[in-house]
């Protein structure tokens, strides 16, 4: 089945973790704007140099930069999961216009709901693989070998914006700038809430079940 999904939710809700699992299960692309930006920062591209100061401060990178980047990166619109985008109403509207031009409507927007304290605990204990971007957690989702990626063995690193101070800022930016999207997509009728506070495998099962129900209704 070809699906086009947005994973919406606060930082630390498990969007990237689930996007990697679901995208590989469905054989579709995963487009995470945060990952693309971090790759540009590492490579020292003009885009990365421009974005870095916003990312370090826990603020959003300007809409025009992000929208242009997504338009360039979204190659195969037959099936994808976008994670971390859109994050503002302007981004959501530009994304709708892009999808309309490509005649590829969204299948659904999954809203990841997690209590606030759990988000902080998840983010401050997160370790990522700099090679394939997979996420681990010291306690909740440890790698099989301490400090190494399960998939490729690369040494894990902590993100510089996963400090308590920047996490607090990122969560307040989410509240102010991204939560209006919940109502935006609810009005369009394609929002599905996910109990993302549960264990990784339970969340995956809930998403797969929601998607198979959608397939059953022909959505």
Catalytic residues: 15, 87, 126, 159, 170
E strand spans, 73-134? 80-83, 108-113, 126-128
Partner from ligand AMP, ligand ADP, none contacting 54, C-beta within 5 to 8 A by type: ligand AMP
Tokens of 166: 């920047």
Binding-site ranges for ligand ADP (CB under 6 A) = 9, 11-17, 122, 125-126, 135-137, 140-141, 199-200, 203
Q: How far apart are CA 119 and CA 11, in angstroms?
A: 7
Tokens of 59: 């603020």
Partner from ligand ADP, ligand AMP, none contacting 55, C-beta within 5 to 8 A by type: ligand AMP
Determine if 112 is a binding residue for ligand AMP (CB under 6 A): no
Determine if 81 is a binding residue for ligand AMP (CB under 6 A): no
Instruction: Report the 10 Å Cβ neighbour count for 127.
Output: 22
Return all residues near 80 (Cβ < 8 A) that are at least 6 apart: 4, 5, 23, 28, 29, 30, 31, 74
> Diameter of the chain by CA atoms?
46
Instruction: Report the 10 Å Cβ neighbour count for 21.
Output: 19
Tokens of 174: 């989410």
CB of 197 to ligand ADP, least distance (A): 7
CB of 100 to ligand ADP, least distance (A): 27
Q: Give the one residue of 8, 55, 119, 181 binding ligand AMP; rule: CB under 6 A.
A: 55
Determine if 34 is a binding residue for ligand AMP (CB under 6 A): yes
Which region, judged by CB under 6 A, interacts with ligand AMP, from 85-93, 147-155, 196-204, 207-215?
85-93
| Binding residues vs ligand AMP (CB under 6 A) | 11, 33-34, 37, 54-55, 58-61, 66, 84-85, 87, 91, 170
């Amino acid at each position: 089945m070809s699906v086009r999904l947005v994973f919406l939710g606060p930082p630390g809700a498990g969007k990237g973790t689930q996007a990697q699992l679901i995208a590989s299960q469905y054989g579709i692309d995963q487009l995470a704007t945060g990952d693309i930006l971090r790759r540009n920062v590492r490579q020292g591209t003009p885009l990365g140099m421009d974005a870095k100061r916003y990312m370090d401060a826990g603020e959003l990178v300007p809409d025009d930069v992000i929208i242009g980047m997504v338009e360039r990166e979204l190659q195969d619109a037959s099936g994808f999961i976008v994670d971390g985008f859109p994050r503002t109403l302007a981004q959501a509207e530009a994304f709708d216009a892009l999808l309309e031009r490509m005649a590829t409507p969204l299948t659904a927007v999954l809203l990841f709901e997690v209590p606030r304290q759990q988000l902080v605990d998840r983010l401050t204990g997160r370790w990522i693989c700099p090679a394939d971007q997979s996420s681990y957690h010291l306690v909740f989702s440890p790698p099989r070998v301490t400090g190494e990626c399960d998939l490729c063995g690369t040494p894990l690193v902590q993100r510089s914006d996963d400090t308590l101070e920047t996490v607090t800022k990122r969560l307040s930016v989410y509240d102010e700038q991204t939560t209006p999207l919940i109502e935006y997509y609810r009005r369009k009728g394609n929002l599905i809430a996910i109990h993302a506070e549960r264990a990784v495998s339970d969340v995956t099962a809930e998403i797969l079940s929601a998607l198979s129900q959608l397939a059953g209704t022909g959505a």
